[in-house]
Chain A
């Protein structure tokens, strides 16, 4: 993975994901959804490889179909009945359509979140939260350290106690519960002990001696500012198109989908610009590389 977009400042990446995911969830317009889905799929391919995306499809496609069918089975609104169920309710074209687009929306959101998880590492999130509150950031970081450590220690203690016949998997049910309780008790004692050292280590390095700041690995550059302005612009144009009624989608009682013509096309283009922003970044980078190489 060599993705230019994920090297942006966390604030810029975060703003991008918030914008894309919110717009995708907010406006159930088929064209917007398809754009979003295609962009998300493309970005997943870039971040995790096409092979991984292929694996994702294996559960995504059945999910798509399942959701459409499920919606049609439980929602009977709509003016076009296709056939009737035994309870007298109709399966309507509208419910099927809505179910399909709802699942497209969900798939897109799932894929975006998959990208989010790759791009927004815990460091980046911490950096973001650190700006809001350095103590929250520290707390999160300590929790991220402590929780796995606690888990490892429990396993280690259990293994140690299993050697004297007191492991959590030894003996009858009651015995096991008792042994597990003891393992937990030892772990808690250990946690207290080690947290004393940690507390000393924190005090020794000035914890509480002054107002905390938060170290950030990332620098906010012009690039990040430009990205955020682009995002804001795209969101603004799209939202304006939707609010003005240019981009409009309704599924019940009848399916009405608007959005063909100048203004809606502008909104869709803006949305596409937003969604494909990572690819655009990568494409630009690739072009520069090619030019550099040919210059050599």
Chain B
């Protein structure tokens, strides 16, 4: 009896020490909330110190006329707290481009993400950011419903930016026109899919599609979650750790695929190659994989209406990603929505 209990205590101690060894004294990231830029647009050193010390993310909000903007500042990136003027002047030019100028030309010492919300809807799928000299710096995420939001990470020592809508990408010629919807189907199919709009590809059942590995085709794929930047308060605080501060998980890349492969096949492969986490389950009811989470950002992580959606050439298919057979030149965008698609241009409600 005594020997047994001693053995037991030893066992427990062993487990305890083992576990203690595994633990790391890390701090979780918190959301500090919205901080309004005052009249002068200055954020004090104390605020930054606090962000840094607590490892918090803050949204710093301000506006220029009718255009509002928001800085997403991760405290972990603040190395040298100082008083900073973060106010902007934003003007909408006649050619449709947006000009952004920082009021102060003092370098921040860190690179926050800037989200600019325009006063109305912008008619573009994607946009690029240029410096005053017209040099392209990076892409800007286009999100939002009635009011378009443009998000990008600022570059070091650039104090003036111009955002222009990208040229509309030419929709690739469909190589298999037989698969396009002619509007003849008016009923839901057996997986509950409503009729596909005329001219858009009909779903191809993954178990029936033939993958021809000899035919190598190309497509472009990107993954972003910029919508979360505007809804940080709703985000599960635990997920702040994995949130890319500029909302981009994967910049647009062109990848090779075999004829007959689906959007899901490509997504899975690209994620594996880039070490991006993904979780998907096959849903027999829709005969397709359902993507629950990418980069550990899961559906419902940012409000009840949040989750992953995909678009191909700007169209959000009304069926699962395993049933979308890719064509050469397709542009796939996986986007995280916080509002059932309304904020990424693919409203499911409609």
Give the B-binding residues of A (Cβ under 8 A). 30-31, 34, 37-38, 41-42, 45, 50, 54, 76-79, 81, 84, 87-90, 92, 248, 250, 252-258, 260
B282 lies within 8 A of A45 (CB): no
Point out the residue from A45, A77, A79 that lies within 8 Å of B8, measured CB to CB.
Answer: A45
Pair B239/A253 contact, Cβ less than 8 Å: yes
Q: Please judge, given known A-B contacts A30-B23, A79-B242, A253-B296, whether A87 and B282 are in contact too, CB under 8 Å.
A: yes
* Residue pair A45, B5 in contact (C-beta under 8 Å): yes
Q: Please, which residue of chain B has its CB at the minimum distance from the CB of A97?
A: B22
In the docked arrangement, what's the CA distance between A248 and B27, Å? 9
B1-44, CB under 8 A of A: which get 1 and which 0? Answer: 10011001000100110011001111110000000000000000
Within 8 A of A (CB), among B297-320: 298
Q: Does B278 contact A (CB under 8 A)?
A: yes
Q: Determine the distance from Cα of A114 to Cα of B298 in the docked complex, in whole angstroms.
A: 38
> A81 to chain B: which residues have CB within 8 Å?
275, 277
Query: In the bound complex, how far is the Cα of B20 from the Cα of A258, in angstroms?
Result: 11
Which B residues fall within an 8 A CB radius of A?
A: 1, 4-5, 8, 12, 15-16, 19-20, 23-28, 238-239, 241-242, 268, 272, 275, 277-282, 293, 296, 298
Closest 8 CB pairs of A and B: A253-B296, A76-B279, A38-B12, A50-B4, A257-B23, A253-B242, A256-B26, A88-B268
Distance in Å from the Cβ of A27 to the closest Cβ of chain B? Answer: 15
Is A252 within 8 A of B4, CB to CB? no
A79 and B296 contact, CB distance less than 8 A: yes
B6 → chain A closest CB, angstroms: 11
Interface SS, B side? mixed
Given known pairs A34-B16, A78-B277, A253-B242, the reply for A258 and B25 (CB within 8 Å) is yes
| Nearest chain A CB to B336 CB, angstrom units | 14
Chain B's nearest CB lies how many Å from the CB of A98? 12
- In the assembled complex, the CB of A186 is this many whole angstroms from the nearest CB of chain B, namely 51
Task: Tell me the minimal C-beta distance from A130 to chain B in angstroms.
Answer: 37
Alpha-carbon distance between A89 and B24 when the two chains are bound, in angstroms: 26
Query: Which residues of the partner chain B approach A78 to less than 8 Å between Cβ atoms?
Result: 277, 296
Instruction: List the B side residues contacting A79 at CB < 8 Å.
Output: 242, 277, 296
- A258 in contact with B27 (CB, 8 Å): yes
- Indicate if the CB atoms of A253 and B241 lie closer than 8 Å: yes
List chain B residues, Cβ under 8 A from A253: 238-239, 241-242, 277, 296
B23 contacts across to A, CB distance below 8 A: 30, 257, 260
Q: Chain B nearest CB: distance from A238 CB in Å?
A: 18
Residue pair A50, B5 in contact (C-beta under 8 Å): yes
A92 to B293, CA, bound (A): 14
CB distance from B14 to the nearest CB of A (A): 11
The smallest beta-carbon distance between A52 and chain B, in angstroms, is 12
| A34 and B279 in contact, given A50-B4, A256-B26, A257-B23 (Cβ under 8 angstroms) | no
B180 → A minimal CB distance (Å): 29
Chain B residues, CB < 8 A from A254: 26, 241-242
List residues of chain B with CB within 8 A of the CB of A38. Answer: 12
Q: List 21 A-B contacts (CB under 8 A).
A: A30-B19, A34-B16, A34-B19, A41-B8, A45-B5, A54-B4, A77-B279, A81-B277, A87-B282, A88-B268, A88-B280, A90-B277, A250-B238, A252-B296, A253-B277, A253-B296, A256-B24, A256-B27, A258-B27, A258-B28, A260-B23
Q: Please measure, in the bound complex, the distance between the C-alpha atom of A92 and the C-alpha atom of B280, giving whole angstroms.
A: 14
* Contact of B28 (CB < 8 Å), options: A41, A50, A256: A256
Name B2's closest neighbour in chain A (CB-CB): A50
